[in-house]
Amino acid sequence: MGKSLLWVVIGLVSIAGGILALANPFVASMAATTIAAWVFIFVGIVEIVAAFGAEGALAKIGNVLLGALAVFLGVSILQHPLAGMLALTTLVGILFLAAGVFKIIIAFSLEERRFFWLILLSGVVSVVLAVMVFANFPQSAAVILGLLLGIDLISNGVSLIAMGFALNAARKMA
């Protein structure tokens, strides 16, 4: 079973992490905020280092400034995690709203109407999620990132387990 068992085990760990995140969404939101802060810092440092390889003074300056901004953002979030959580929740709400509106526009612009309702439904769900985030803001900031993290971990876990079983089945057929 080898690699397929590894996929299943990783999937089970992901599901367990998702359940833990759903059991305590505030702690999971804080963890997601901290991880995001460290990602900003890492990306900023990489951007600054990459600036030295860029051609042209304007490209170098631009890359250094963007990198420094990302590092500053990451450090600021680490220093003020609750404010960072509010900012990230606002961003998530805006992304839900933008994605929802975009999907609704796409649904109505499709010449092929076969998938109209699925795309429209997906867009409406995204808009409803945005409304839910903003309707209860800032209280929603305390849990929304943790809930999304938990749901994503469970979803990824299920897909990893399915991939493990599919890999095992494909190996048996070969």
CA distances from 167 to 46, 135, 157 (A): 36, 44, 15
Q: Is residue 86 predicted with pLDDT exceeding 80?
A: yes
**Residue 92 CB: number of other CB atoms within 10 A?**
19
**Across all residues in the chain, what is the average pLDDT?**
87
130, 97 contact by CB (below 8 A): yes
Report the pLDDT averaged over residues 26-41.
91
Six token digits for residue 49: 């280092």
Report the pLDDT averaged over residues 54-75.
89
Q: Is residue 59 predicted with pLDDT exceeding 70?
A: yes
Whole-number pLDDT of residue 97 = 93
Summarised one tens digit per residue, pLDDT across range 95-126 is 889 988 998 998 888 777 777 888 888 889 88
Q: Is residue 19 predicted with pLDDT exceeding 70?
A: yes
When mean pLDDT is compared over 75-79, 129-133, 136-140, 157-161, the highest value belongs to: 75-79
Our count of domains for the chain comes to: 1
Q: What span, in angstroms and rounded, lies between the C-alpha atoms of 79 and 77?
A: 5
Whole-number pLDDT of residue 1 = 52
Q: Could you tell me the residue range of the domain that residue 138 belongs to?
A: 2-173
pLDDT confidence of 79, banded at 50, 70, 90?
very high
Summarised one tens digit per residue, pLDDT across range 127-150 is 988 888 888 888 878 888 888 888
